[in-house]
Amino acid sequence: MFHADNLEVTPGLADGSFTVIYLDPPFNTGRTQARRSTTSTRTAPDADPDERRPGRVTGFQGRQYDRIKGDLLSYDDRFDDYWEFLEPRIVEAWRLLADDGTLYLHLDYREAHYAKVLLDALFGRESFLNEIIWAYDYGAKSKNRWPTKHDTILVYVKDPRGYYFDSTTVDREPYMAPGLVTPEKAAAGKLPTDVWWHTIVSPTGREKTGYPTQKPEGILRRIVQASSREGDWVLDFFAGSGTTGAVAAALGRNFVLVDRSADALDVIRRRLPGARFV
């Protein structure tokens, strides 16, 4: 567990070290994010986009990426600050992914559409695996529009021809219409689809740590189960309450967590007493 800004930590981690990388960045609510100097993602116009080496991402399109980014900027100038914050972290995530690794980027509805377009331009559309919708039903509900009760998790792989994925290891869930399948199938449950119905962390449940943006273990457990094996390494750029580390440890994975919040550090110390803190 590193108590620091993630861009201060990740340059010291080796290329291709992690099978799963999970990013749950602060959602863009209109507040200014702190910007940091970044490594440019531009490639030379005549560069081979399929060439793979540290510092170059398969799918980077140079001018095409710059054009798309510029188009989005001209459409909504509020986007600029958030993407300047997020972009260097995504570039680092690609560098740190193992060749069979998977990136999970957890966003809300205000940013998901921007991020999807830019990730396609950065990584190549062939590296896009899924858009997962995490749907829940808790809290206040709007009276003048359809209530917003979901988050989006964009899933991209390092190598679309060689990524690791094993859905048979994932916890099954009840059929919504068990009468339409055999009793045996109903008893076994079904594999989750790309829409995950899962409650938020209960205010009175055993998981509750008091951290305001805590994510439920069930969501992270599916991610870690499907996209990594025992002994693999998992990285969380914005550790928060430490759910990723708790799940990884329970499943026999190694983990690295990073967060610059002192409150997060206190929560994780209590939740993961066996972790090494740096």
Percentage of residues in the chain having pLDDT higher than 70: 83
pLDDT tens digit sequence for 114-143: 889 888 888 889 999 999 999 998 777 888
User: What are the two backbone dihedrals, phi and then psi, of residue 106, each rounded to the nearest 5 degrees?
Assistant: -100, 115
Residues whose CB is less than 8 angstroms from the CB of residue 240 and which lie 6 or more positions away in sequence, other chains included: 24, 211, 213, 214, 215, 259, 261, 264, 267
- Where are the chain's structural domains? 2-271
- Name the nearest CA neighbour of 41 among 100, 104, 93, 4: 93
Does 102 score more than 90 pLDDT? Answer: yes
Span 2-271 CATH architecture:
3-Layer(aba) Sandwich (3.40)
Percentage of residues in the chain having pLDDT higher than 90: 59
Q: At what angle do helices 243-250 and 262-271 cross, to 10 degrees?
A: 20
Distance CA 244, CA 227 (A): 13
- pTM for this entry: 0.85
